[in-house]
Structure 1
Amino acid sequence: MSQQEQLVIAPVKASEQMEFTAADAVVKELVRAGVEVAFGIVSIHNMPIYDAILRDGSIHLVCSRGESGAANMADGYARATGKLGVVITSTGTGAGNAAGSLIESWAAGVPVLHLTGEVASPYLGTGRGYIHECKDQLSIMEGSCKKAMRLRRPEQAAAVIRQAIKEAAAAPSGPVSVEIPIDFQSAIIPDYSLEEVNVSVQENSTIAYLPKEAITKISQARRPVIWAGGGVISSGASKELQELAERIGAAVITSQSGKGSIPEDHPQCIGHFASFELTKDLVKKSDLLISIGVRLRGNETSNWKIEVPENHISIDADLQAMNRNYAAAIGLAGDAKLILRKVNEELAKESLSTSEDYLEEVLSVRKELRLQLRATLGPYEKIADAMRKLLPRDTVLVRDVTVQANVWGSRLFEIYQPRTSIHASGGGIGQGLPTAIGAQMGCKDRQVVLLAGDGGFMVNVGEMATAVQESLPIIVILFDDAGYGVLRNIQDAAYGRQVAVDLVSPDFVLLAQSIGFASAKIGSPEEFASELEKAMDRRKPSMIVVDMEAVGPMAKPFGGPPGAAEAFKPKKL
């Protein structure tokens, strides 16, 4: 029997099984939470869970080629859909392989549930050499995730998994790891009813009270700036954000994670240009900053050197985010959607008048920033324009850490909807491909496009086979410069020389074709546009290899984030 035939064997329902196990309880909780897809690799230390998933038949299992890739897939799935991402790994090395990718989920605040096995409970912490044993797996997971938990009694499986799912989703959201000893997974337990009697929060809930001072500051501002982050998207507050911006005539800056919180063709949207001098000057001259669900990260604030006004209202669901990077005159802790809804209700009672001169200034800054960036691109300007012209507005753009993604993929390629922009928040290379696969699994009727460089792409290149096995119409745009391009440029700027950045790569076209991708190499923007159209039409796994030597150099080399080269030059501390 072929592998393809094995995959369509009708599952046996758990109700037909003679005994109910802790693994069944785990799956029951996943189904209760609405989980439809899980990513991972089967192992002797998670096989009971896999078998329980098979018997239940409700969850589609995606077989990755590595635990690192599986965790990224769960991450991409969660970001693109707003649902819980689930990854299942083995014990020890398997769990450790997932740790780096879970750090990315933590950095981006993505709700991911990581289920991992553990050695049999009598051998935990003994160091006796039980297969797959790890010295302190729980601590590894604790350091990689928002929280790590261990199932200590099989009978508590349902409660522990439910709590883990709640933890992953609760603000600030993030990955939660649950380790389950292998003997517990197959332990027979009662199938009992676990009901919660909490009062649910309805969609039309609102905030009863906001400080009058906050409404006064907002209503009196003449040069307001809104800085929108990923918290806007995770709370579903894009409509409320746009209403507020239009009501008070504010410029809107977005973080990387906040891209898509407001359509980037909106005349008040500055976009992801916070570290540019024109934007810094606009913020410095503003009389009010409203930061919403944004971390104000170092690389997006020139390491916190951007000057913000004293009138700073911070809105965040995470209490620990208050005053962490910039002092706020007023902190509003809670759900951004509910808070913004209340703010808009209160402002509707006020007499507001937006400044037309300021709106013209914002529009001018918006246009000038894009012209400045375009002037650095050389032939890649046409590639960026071809992508935005040809791809649908709801395309999900995933970006690995590479020159083209950093320079224009995160700025000039306009994003119009929430959850259609995904990037590596933690800055780790090579996570783009599996993240894009996860996003495409969650959005099968839409186009997912990955921007990647040859260096990072090789980290998880084996996951191309996962995309083919799942028949995903993902399009990979691979910029090939035979090395780590970002680091080359930083080294040149910092030292005037390069080390450990040149790479020998395979023939990417042949590699892709051997796995099952349609693939072609291009050497000009015109060829690129033609191949992109073909890839979109075929709706099958596709790769376009951009020969950067043939296309030519950028008009201005990318030297890394602001201040990157200077930071690496020798200096006294």
Structure 2
Amino acid sequence: MTDQLTGGQALVAALEAHGTDTVFGIPGTHNLPVYAALADSPIRHILPRHEQGAGFAADGWARVTGRPGVCVTTTGPAVLNAATAAAQSYSDSVPVLLVSPGLPLGHPGRGNGYLHEVKDQRAALDAIVAYSHRVTGVEEIPLAVAHAFAAMTGGRPRPVHLEIPLDLLDATAPVEVAVPTPVAPVTAGRAQIAAATTALAAARRPVIIAGGGSSGAAHSLRRVAERLGAPVVTTANGKGTFPDGHPLAIGAGLHHTAVRELVAGSDVVLAVGTELAPADLWFGPLDIPGTLIRVDIDTQALTTNALPDIGLVADAAEALKALGTRLEAARTTGPADPGRAAAARRDFTAAARAEGADYLGLTAALGQALGRDGILAGDSTMACYYGALSNLPAHHPRSFLYPTGLGTLGYGLPAAIGAKVARPDAPVVALHGDGGLMFTVQELATAAQLRLPLPVVVWDNGGYGEIRNEMADRGDPVHAVDLPAPDFAALARSMGCHGVRVEDAAHLATALETGLGSDRPTLIHLPGGTP
């Protein structure tokens, strides 16, 4: 049906048609027509305190739901503030639609000093997302939204930027709202499935590496692993896809020596939805003398960092479902030796505990508080990548939100807000270092306004601890890394949150339990790395 709509109304109608129920954003002079339309829409609007926080919150929402998040900003500095969040979403393959106005259609090509003018805003965003598109008519807006959602849901999920010239937002035109584009799953060819089945059926020492691309394939992944008796290790973004506590679960963290030795001793390696990226491996590529089978929805990623012997360009759920069905008929030798997984898990656990020794009290308290259904949103902090990554149990996909590839600071708190908005009944905790929290500390006010029962744990090591250690390891002068701590608890209370300081792991567990049952966020300050 065709209706006479403004550009702002056309955008909001198109978002509604694609099932959007939550938008994160901040109003500004140039996007007011969008906000006028949102006021009459059933879409819930969440108001962060900074556009970077809006982008991170949309990212957290998308990771938890598996659906595209939406972030709305105004022009110029606002959309550039959100650029870091968009780049993080691109790095970790998270679908987020970033919408902003652009300069008017007739704006001089070389500029004239217009408010919020950027030399080439669309090009700036195009450099860090899947693509950036500038519409040229009100009638085009719904189609551009449909194309964006198709791109984000029909292949490798990555963010898209949509720029709408600001003069189109108040302009009217007859508009037909495009229905969502049907997206067919990407399936592997029969020959590739057959070759992978043959190799796996004959394997005596198989292993599975599950990345973030397998998060929608947990059931089929488990079926294949159990049929093969294959130990399963996960990347940071794959954490929880294969449940910790399962006899075949080794843990999350590809950098451990135990994982390298397990892979080197395997005759078949099945890598699903992972780039086998340096950001996960830390110390160089894996030695893979056996047959490498890679499953990835992205053709380019299939050959990134390691060339497969057998490559399946496919959605992980479709590929693993097909492999599971064929293996039940093809594999006659029974599962591999279960003792192999147990031995690898012992080695992995010992290494993880040694690496994260300073954080074991923290991870134990977090595990107790989160239980089996909880979600941790972690920042790029030592407490997360040395502590929680390999020592905190995860029992379901999309329960460990972490900025793996780009490694930005400030991610945890706003991502936790997005996660809690998406899953209000699930326990959600944010984990930060003292340095990283200050990048987005203003979002405590957002969480307080929303009355979210959200504990925010601050592991305070007096500054940028990782960089301090790297300087020392290089033999460089150690400087510019120490941060005098504010009174974090008082700062939180000034923004409408509870704020407490704890001195040991027992008090941390109590504070987490209290915070999860509170009427507002609770900042929990651990000075000096207490636990």
| TM tier, smaller | over 0.9
**For the residues of structure 1 that align with 2:68 and 2:182, how far apart are their CA atoms?**
22
| TM-score for both structures, normalised by structure 1 | 0.88
Superposed, which structure 2 residues align to 1:71-470 within 5 Å?
A: 71-123=55-107, 125-192=109-176, 194=178, 201=184, 209-211=190-192, 212-233=194-215, 236-302=216-282, 304-354=284-334, 358-378=337-357, 380-425=359-404, 426-470=406-450
CA gap 1:230/1:172 in 2 versus in 1, 3 angstroms: same
Q: Structure 1 residue 124: deviation in Å? A: 5.0
Asked if residue 21 in structure 1 is aligned to residue 6 in structure 2, the reply is: yes
Q: Structure 1 residue 309: deviation in Å? A: 2.7
- Alpha-carbon RMSD across the aligned residues, in angstroms, is 2.0
Q: Structure 1 residue 355: deviation in Å? A: 5.5
Q: Residue 363 of structure 1: SS of its match in structure 2? A: helix
Paired position in structure 1 for 2:510: 530
Q: Partner amino acid for 2:364? A: D
Q: 2:50 aligns with which of 66, 77, 83?
A: 66
Q: Percent identity?
A: 32
**For the residues of structure 2 that align with 1:65 and 1:200, how far apart are their CA atoms?**
35
Q: Structure 1 residue 354: deviation in Å? A: 4.0
Q: Residue 391 of structure 2: SS of its match in structure 1? A: coil
Asked if residue 519 in structure 1 is aligned to residue 499 in structure 2, the reply is: yes
CA gap 1:168/1:206 in 2 versus in 1, 3 angstroms: closer
Paired position in structure 2 for 1:565: none
**For the residues of structure 2 that align with 1:40 and 1:78, how far apart are their CA atoms?**
15
CA gap 1:113/1:250 in 2 versus in 1, 3 angstroms: same
CA gap 1:148/1:343 in 2 versus in 1, 3 angstroms: same
**For the residues of structure 1 that align with 2:354 and 2:83, how far apart are their CA atoms?**
40
5+ long unaligned stretches in structure 2: none
**For the residues of structure 2 that align with 1:379 and 1:208, how far apart are their CA atoms?**
48
Superposed, which structure 2 residues align to 1:463-482 within 5 Å?
A: 463-482=443-462
Q: Residue 121 of structure 1: SS of its match in structure 2? A: coil
Contact 2:14 2:178 in 1 (8 A): no
Q: Residue 314 of structure 1: SS of its match in structure 2? A: strand
Q: Structure 1 residue 26: deviation in Å? A: 0.9
Q: Structure 1 residue 200: deviation in Å? A: 6.5
**For the residues of structure 1 that align with 2:30 and 2:107, how far apart are their CA atoms?**
14
The farther-off stretch of 366-375 and 105-114 is: 366-375
Contact 1:248 1:352 in 2 (8 A): no
Q: Structure 1 residue 457: deviation in Å? A: 0.3
Q: Residue 271 of structure 2: SS of its match in structure 1? A: strand
Q: Partner amino acid for 1:216? A: T
Q: Partner amino acid for 2:400? A: S
| TM-score for both structures, normalised by structure 2 | 0.95
Q: Partner amino acid for 2:211? A: G
Q: Partner amino acid for 1:228? A: A
Q: Partner amino acid for 1:217? A: A
Paired position in structure 2 for 1:541: 521
The farther-off stretch of 69-78 and 536-545 is: 536-545
Contact 2:198 2:330 in 1 (8 A): no
Q: Structure 1 residue 502: deviation in Å? A: 0.5
Contact 1:304 1:325 in 2 (8 A): no
**For the residues of structure 2 that align with 1:352 and 1:491, how far apart are their CA atoms?**
55
Q: Partner amino acid for 1:127? A: G
Contact 1:227 1:253 in 2 (8 A): yes
**For the residues of structure 1 that align with 2:241 and 2:182, how far apart are their CA atoms?**
30
